[in-house]
Amino acid sequence: MKQFKFPTSKPDLTAVAQYLSTGTAKSIVVMVGAGISTAAGIPDFRSPKTGLYHNLSRLNLPYAEAVFDIDYFRRKPEAFYMLAQELYPGKFRPTMFHSFLKLLEDRGVLRRVYTQNIDTLEEIAGVSPEKVVYAHGSFATNHCIDCHKEMSKVDIEAFMKKDDIPKCSRCGGYVKPDIVFFGENLPARFFKLLPGDLDAADLVIVAGTSLQVHPFASLPSQVSCPRVLFNLESVGDFGRRKTDVIKLGPCDEGIEQLVELCKWDKQLKDLWTKTAKTANVAEEEDAASASQKKILKALATTAAANAEDASASKEESSAEEGSEEEDESLAQDDLDEVQQAIEAFNELEIAVASEDATASKSESAVEKAKV
């Protein structure tokens, strides 16, 4: 078993900073999720108040994850494409945490980033493609769900620009980006690189993930090196090992503290400043809150379509059973709730996202959202 010279007496950010700044950590593996992008204006999935799934489950709407479900996509690809229009790379600026990944690469100590995100903000921040593993796929490649013929990025973007559902030129089947839907396999690259990376890691940094979705969720427990968590809440088995360092709070704030201790803060700020022009948004001011709002609204509309489906099938079955009146009123309740959800999303105010507010950017989406 390898020995790591990580100070165990007091595992804290100062110890991590020493481990980094003395050049002891040479092979860092980072594992991230939606929480590292919330400061960019992309909602995560499970956070109370602002998470995509949470908003829907709170309202007892059917089937929030449908938007990433392959069977549902076969029947109603519009739902996914409505969300994809909003999430499509190019609209968002990387966060300070993304620039930290680039900083690690520039210092020659980044072994790999395993990301569950499909926003590609890692690469937009400048991290090289070979350093990133998109564990849940990405928008980079696209295939027909029936005959698997590939569709180029240019072609799929042309469909999306016209608000059309992309269809295969060979068989007419629907085409979807190679994002891993529920029930689908993770990319081969994930399984190919993982064993070597876990073995080589001398520091694992986990950030912005609830560690609820397997197999990704089990990765941090498979390493024997020191581990650091930057997250709003404690997750997985963090805290069970003496050497675990847990920094609760917005991950951008945690990273800023860490780089200050390393005396790398100027380098990080320079890298982040360079990302200013990457977001192709019409108005920089309020861009993050506006995009959060649009994404949540897209999902609420998806849920409305689901509820309509559900009410249609209720009507069918109630007609058979002869209890039409009661079931129709239930369906109407569902639709009323969905309507309220859409109205609530329309009124969503997030007090962040101006350039100046970026100092406290990470807490923005999570703590200041008023629904």
List of residues contacting ligand OAD (CB under 6 A): 33-35, 38-39, 44-47, 51, 68, 116, 136, 180, 208-210, 212-213, 231-233, 235, 250-251, 362, 366
- Strands across the sheet containing 175-179: 150-151, 137-144, 175-179
Part in contact with Zn ion (CB under 5 A); list of ranges 92-100, 166-174, 199-207, 296-304: 166-174
Are 177 and 141 in contact by the 8 Å Cβ rule? The answer is: yes
Q: Choose between 213 and 357: whose C-beta lies nearer to ligand OAD.
A: 213
136 an active-site residue?
A: yes
Nearer to Zn ion, 147 or 248 (CB): 147
The whole-angstrom separation of Cα 55 and Cα 126 is: 33
Binding map of Zn ion across residues 131-160, x = CB under 5 A, - = no contact: -------------x-xx-x-----------
Residue 227 CB, nearest approach to ligand OAD (Å):
16
**CA 298 – CA 329 distance, rounded (Å):** 26
Within 53-82, which residues bind Zn ion (CB under 5 A)?
none
179 contributes a contact to Zn ion by CB under 5 A: no
Task: Report the sign of the C-alpha dihedral through residues 307, 308, 313, 318, in that order.
Answer: positive
Q: C-beta of 349: minimal distance to Zn ion in Å? A: 44
Find which of Zn ion, ligand OAD, none residue 291 binds, CB within 5 to 8 Å per kind: none
* Residues in a beta bridge with 245: 228
How far apart, in whole angstroms, are the C-alpha atoms of residue 131 and residue 147? 31
DSSP code at position 119: S
Marked catalytic residue, from 54, 98, 136, 148: 136
173 contacts which partner out of Zn ion, ligand OAD, none, CB within 5 to 8 A by kind? Zn ion
For CA atoms 141, 144, 149, 154, the dihedral sign is negative
Residues known to be catalytic: 136
